Structure 1
Amino acid sequence: MTSSPSSSGAVSGLGQPAPAVLEPLRAGHTDGFPELLRTLGVSLLVTTYQAGKLVVVREQDGRLNTHFRNFPMPMGLAVSPWADRLAIGTKLQVCEFRDVPEVAAQVEPEGTHDACFLPRSSHVTGDVAIHEMAYGLGGELWFVNTRFSCLATIDPDASFVPRWRPPFVSELEPTDRCHLNGLAMEGGAPRFVTALGRSDAPAGWRTNKARGGVLIDVTSGEIVVPGLSMPHSPRLHGGHLWACESGAGTLGVVDPAAGKYEAVASVPGFTRGLDFAGHYAFVGLSQVRESAVFSGIPITEHLAEHERICGIAVIDVITGQVVGLLRFEDAVQEIFAVAVLPRRFPELMNEDETLLASSFVIPTQSLPDVAESVRAKPSVPA
């Protein structure tokens, strides 16, 4: 079935005949994908900068529901440890949202939603090519500032605050020297990052993009694993360090002591975007376009363009088997971030001015001063 950019739609199984008239946003899935989300009690948040969408993937009545929200070039995505706050990095700014359960309870159809994220702030960073993001200690938001080759945080008086950069990058300036992209947190602080090259020259990573990628220990500044093909999305989960070797289309485990990456699963797409729920890994897949950026990498050499897919693969990390697949078609060709949200059927409002105009959140200590009629039923339009 189809879904418009501003509405929800259930998606059908892979292998179903295409409709006579192609819609701009379509998706299909393997049997069992909706049931897996229902069993885990989660939904998925997915960004696609190429299509300018945040996709909320939800189970509804045994079917998969894909919900599209418009953003200008969304890439980085962060969910707080309590899943009550999330941030999206767009072309020029970071947008933060808060879950307001009282609003969720009244969004139509009433009783369906278990979360409703409303915008709370927007910070203009300028075009710094925000890649991965994560919340740290005290709710501090970290993000990969790819153009300036550094990790950064937000300050109200500045575009960004540079906090760390690879030792081989000698100075700050916006020329994307090493294509810093991925961020793994440990104990509320950055621990590992990925970059597409060990370069101190403007766009120098492009020289050896096929095998020049590195995984770096932020604490020591040392390169843990060299020689990777366009690595992304390092994560610490279940006592292991995981990463995507995107150029090879794999998800794997890193042994920092041995300095080795071992592929656990191979999938038919450029792997980028990673999160976990139990022993399942949710991995973003991109088709990768035929261009100077992606030419010469392993996946383009062993898979023809029509064999590469865009979507989400679910991998059982114990067996290495792909146990589920969501495939986007037509307008969505590249995925950047994938986040597991421990909510069954969330909503996010970023363009509904009518709802935003009449939804008010005030501090708890101020509630006694609010009229009883307002407290009894917050104003949420149907």
Structure 2
Amino acid sequence: MTKAQENATGNGAAVNTGAASAPDAPPPAPAPGTSQISVSRGLSGWLAAHQTSLAFSSYQTGQLFLVGRQPNGTVSFNQQNFSRAMGLSWSHGRLYLGSLCQVWRLENMLRPGERGNEAFDVVLVPRNAQTTGDIDIHELGVDGDGRVIFVNTKYSCLCTPDLTHSFKPIWKPPFISRLAPEDRCHLNGMAMADGRPAYVTAVSRSDVLTGWRERRHEGGVIVEVQTGRIVTDQLSMPHSPRVVNGRLYALDSGRGQIIEVDPRTGEKRDIAFCPGFLRGMTIHDGHAIVTVSKPRDGTFKHLSLDGELKARDAEAWCGLLIVDLATGNLVEWIRLEGHITELFDVTAMPGVACPMAVGPDTPEMRGTISFDAALLDSTPLPRAA
């Protein structure tokens, strides 16, 4: 197999995997056009103790990051370019990634016991790219029948890929009168439960062109997919609903809060404040792993998050935070400084120690070839009539 990039240093990022600084002490400023990555002292041990690795995406710079633990205990970062990298879904050696105009399927090419470059126990290779056009794909998941389901934000609906058309719509919120390329309510997040979409988040119930922009402060809703019922409202730019053990979690992004919601009554409970714009969450082993971004002018300006940061005398982060759901304590972190200021999604990869990926349009993709020789049938092919 061709040697592929083993960390982020080859793609405009410097990596400091041994940082032991406090979260409120930013790392040294990186050179213009580059990013500095630092991690908490205990991140490597946390990944080992909870037997997982992580993947996260940055639509701003179009990159997929894989985070793992090398055999010597060093934190590993593998970075590949995917245009406008957005939603992520991991299951059984397969990673789905939504991008600018495609849904990518990456497969682990390694057989049991094999290692890539003597260090990686998963090597993800792009095997399929379903073209959708620019429909602003946000979060995605896989249902019980193996279908990919994704949030089509531009058309305010949930979809599956279609072999002929750009997408196949399967559900829209009841307050959306028709499918139109108008991003009416900013449908953005989806929770899967029992093999089907269970809940979605939207920034508002608007049914006009980009109407959600005037409702960012408290127009947000969580909607139950099966019934169309509004589970709770008065959220500020909510994202990333998740169902774990029957409990519903979400991000109240405009306030910087991870929340738990009673799916019957809609009652909300704050779990933890995070210093940045929340967007992307995965829950693993009693912990919420979330992405935070530095608020940009315009869409994210003048939210409650701004005032909360000022009240706490804090600056917004760009990175990953790992939060103990039982206590609300932030236990480990990854911080990015410099060129990358906004992230989107994150997913845990349980049972994987140190993953890497091969990027599209790279020499590695052209030279990384595998096949299963056991499938070769030595029986002669029948002759043509």
For normalisation by structure 1, the TM-score amounts to 0.89
- Per the alignment, residue 301 of structure 1 pairs with 307
Give the TM-score normalised by the residue count of structure 2. Answer: 0.89
Partner of 2:109 in structure 1? 100
Match of 1:328?
A: 336
Partner Cα separation in structure 2 for residue 203 and residue 104 of structure 1: 50
- Measure how far apart 1:30 and its partner are: 1.9
**Within-5 A mapping of 1:308-319:** 308-319=316-327
Report the alpha carbon displacement of residue 23 of structure 1 after superposing the two structures with TM: 6.4
Q: Which residue of the partner structure matches residue 189 of structure 2?
A: 182
- Between the aligned partners of 1:129 and 1:104, the Cα distance in structure 2 is 38
Given candidates 219, 230, 238, the residue that maps to 2:237 is 230
1:209-288 residue pairs with structure 2 within 5 A? Answer: 209-288=216-295
Query: Quick one: which amino acid aligns to residue 331 of structure 1?
Result: H
What fraction of aligned residue pairs are identical, expressed as a percent? Answer: 35
Deviation at 1:258, TM superposition (A): 1.5
Instruction: Give how far 1:326 is off.
Output: 1.1
Please name the residue that 1:378 is paired with: none
Equivalent AA in structure 2 for residue 75 of structure 1: M
TM-superposed CA distance for 1:244, in Å, is 0.5
Pair 1:78 & 2:86 matched: no
2:202 aligned partner: 195
**Are residues 1:204 and 2:211 paired?**
yes
Unaligned runs of 5+ in 1: 371-382
Secondary structure at 1:356's aligned position in 2?
helix
Tell me whether 1:348 sits opposite 2:343 in the alignment. no
- Give the whole-Å Cα distance in 1 for the aligned partners of 2:31 and 2:84: 27
Is the Cα contact below 8 Å between 2:116 and 2:122 reproduced in 1? no
Deviation at 1:309, TM superposition (A): 0.4
Partner of 1:38: helix, strand, or coil? helix
C-alpha distance in 2, partners of 1:8/1:156? 41
On the 8 A contact 1:286/1:310 being kept in 2, the answer is: yes
Provide runs of 4+ in structure 1 moved above 6 Å. none
Contact 1:7 1:68 in 2 (8 A): no
User: In 1, distance between residues paired with 2:137 and 2:155?
Assistant: 10
Distance 1:353 1:332 in 2: 22
Q: Is the 8 A contact 2:16 2:36 kept in 1?
A: no
| Alignment length (residue pairs) | 365
What is the rounded CA distance, in whole Å, between the counterparts of 2:28 and 2:214 in structure 1?
41
Structure 2 SS opposite 1:163: strand
| 1:320 Cα deviation after fit | 1.1
Q: Distance in 2 between matches of 1:357 and 1:28?
A: 32
d(CA) in 1 for partners of 2:101, 2:361: 21
Q: Distance in 2 between matches of 1:96 and 1:152?
A: 16
Q: Does the Cα contact within 8 Å between 1:48 and 1:75 map onto a contact in 2?
A: yes
1:118 and 1:103, CA in 2 relative to 1: closer, same or farther beyond 3 A? farther
Report matched runs for 1:160-171 at 5 Å: 160-171=167-178
